[in-house]
């Protein structure tokens, strides 16, 4: 069966200036990610994982190369269009959750839609809270939640606009092993039961092992790829 491509990146280059030299954080990377695939990106610190994810999620722009997500060539978008793309089409999850402290769980989850001038559908929010196990926490603020609960709320925020693809940068990097396990199981469930596409950066082999495919980076390049046996 022909698989549908969700993300296609070709010849991505991103260089940062450092002192009097420069660092190729992403050095001519090409990759394809299928719809409904769970991909883990691993590699040592500084290998370019976050830079690559930021490019794919539209948080940063490459110097050269092209990125197409769900049929949209995001590398052709102007900054204002890219901001809209991020709110509607790219769900980002960060290591430190990045919840807004003055908003409760429900308000944090609804934020991407509100910023876009829409109300969140009450039924959809209820359904998400149930899926995330946060129904009892909907009126709590980040300061009243455990790390695992905060990350689940952040995943809810990434999911509310039903983006075609979720990008997560070390989402378990600040969690203990029990909470890490819970978060990675949640991602697995999103892929298996809802057909979500997930690109997840991690240096935790136990987390990567849950993915369908593991991509390893070194010095800004993809140096290895392993597909999990079905
Ligand atoms: N904003 C930046 N300014 C300068 N150098 C950066 C910046 N972001 C990343 N780098 C450099 O690019 C390389 C890749 O970084 P990064 O993508 O964060 O790696 P990883 O996520 O794998 O740890 C590193 O050498 C890092 O120091
Ligand atoms: Mg990183």
pLDDT in tens, 1-20: 678 999 999 999 999 998 88
Nearest CA to ligand 1 atom 25: 46
What share of the chain has pLDDT > 70, as a percent? 99
Q: What is the rounded average pLDDT of the residues 55-81?
A: 96
Name the more confident of 88 and 30.
Answer: 30
Ligand 1 centroid – CA 122 distance (Å): 40
What is the C-alpha to C-alpha distance for residues 30 and 8, in angstroms, rounded to an integer? 8
Give the residue, by CA position, lying nearest to ligand 1 atom 7: 16
Q: For residue 148, report the distance from its CA to the centre of ligand 1, in Å.
A: 26
Distance, in Å, from the CA atom of 94 to the CA atom of 153, rounded to the nearest integer, reads 12
Which ligand minimizes its atom distance to the CA of 220? 1
The percent of residues in the chain predicted with pLDDT above 90, rounded, is 92
Ligand 1 site, CB within 6 A: 16, 18, 23, 25, 43, 45-51
230 pLDDT above the threshold of 70: no
Q: Whose CA is nearest to atom 18 of ligand 1?
A: 50
Compute the distance between CA of residue 147 and CA of residue 127 in angstroms, rounded to an integer: 21
Q: Record the tokens describing residue 228, joined without a space.
A: 């999990």
Query: From ligand 1's centre to the CA of 174, what distance in Å?
Result: 19
pTM above 0.75, yes or no: yes
87 confidence band (pLDDT: 50, 70, 90): confident
Centroid of ligand 1 to alpha carbon of 161 (angstroms): 29
Q: Is 97 left (phi over 0), alpha (psi -120 to 50) or beta?
A: left
What atom of ligand 1 comes closest to residue 53's alpha carbon? 17
pLDDT tens across 112-130, in order?
Answer: 999 989 999 999 999 999 9
Distance 116 CA to ligand 2 centre (A): 28
Confidence of residue 49 (pLDDT cuts 50, 70, 90): very high
In the predicted model, what is the mean pLDDT of the chain?
A: 95
Query: Which residue in 202, 207, 208, 131 sits closest to 162, CA to CA?
Result: 131
Q: Which atom of ligand 1 is nearest to the CA of 17?
A: 4
Confidence of residue 80 (pLDDT cuts 50, 70, 90): very high
Query: What pLDDT is recorded for position 88?
Result: 86
Quickly tell me which residue has 């948080």 as its tokens: 59
Domain residue extents for the chain: 37-62+76-227
Tens-digit pLDDT profile for residues 153-165: 999 999 999 998 9
CATH of domain 37-62+76-227: 3.40.50.300
β-strand pairing of 64-69 with 38-42: unpaired
C-alpha–C-alpha distance, residues 164 and 75, integer Å: 17
- Ligand 1 center to residue 44 CA distance, Å? 11
Q: 3-state SS string over the chain? A: CCCCEEEEEEEEEEEEEECCEEEEEEEEEEEEEECCCEEEEECCCCCCHHHHHHHHCCCCCCCEEEEEECCEEHHHCCHHHHHHHHHHHEEEECCCCCCCCCCEHHHHHHHHHHHCCCCCCHHHHHHHHHHHCCHHHCCCEHHHCCHHHHHHHHHHHHHCCCCCEEEEECCCCCCCHHHHHHHHHHHHHHHHHHCCEEEEECCCHHHHCCCCEEEEEECCEEEEEEECCC
Return the best residue to mutate from 23, 43, 167, 173 for the ligand 1 pocket (most ligand atoms within 8 A of CB).
23
Q: How confident is the model at residue 68 (pLDDT cuts 50, 70, 90)?
A: very high
Name the residue among 182, 198, 117, 118 with its Cα closest to residue 150.
182
Q: Which residues pair with 39 in a beta bridge?
A: 199, 213
């Amino acid at each position: 069966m022909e698989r549908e491509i969700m993300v296609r990146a070709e010849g991505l280059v991103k260089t940062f200036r450092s002192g009097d030299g420069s660092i190729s954080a992403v050095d001519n990377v090409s990759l394809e990610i299928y719809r409904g695939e769970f991909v883990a990106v691993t590699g040592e610190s500084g290998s370019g994982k976050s830079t690559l994810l930021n490019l794919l999620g539209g948080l940063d722009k490459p110097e050269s190369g092209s990125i197409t997500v769900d049929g949209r060539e995001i590398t052709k978008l102007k900054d204002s269009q890219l901001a809209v793309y991020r709110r509607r089409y790219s769900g980002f999850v960060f290591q430190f959750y990045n919840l807004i402290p003055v908003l409760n769980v429900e308000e944090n989850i609804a934020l991407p839609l509100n910023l876009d001038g829409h109300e969140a559908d009450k039924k959809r929010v209820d359904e998400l809270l149930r899926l995330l196990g946060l129904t009892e926490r909907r009126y709590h603020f980040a300061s009243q939640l455990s790390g695992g609960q905060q990350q689940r709320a952040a995943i809810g925020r990434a999911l509310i606009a039903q983006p075609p693809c979720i990008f997560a940068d070390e989402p378990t990097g600040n969690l203990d092993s029990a909470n890490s396990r819970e978060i990675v199981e949640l991602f697995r469930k999103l892929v298996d039961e809802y057909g979500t596409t997930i690109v997840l950066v991690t240096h935790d082999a136990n987390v990567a092992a849950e993915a369908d495919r593991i991509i390893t980076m070194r010095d800004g390049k993809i140096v290895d790829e392993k597909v999990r046996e079905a």
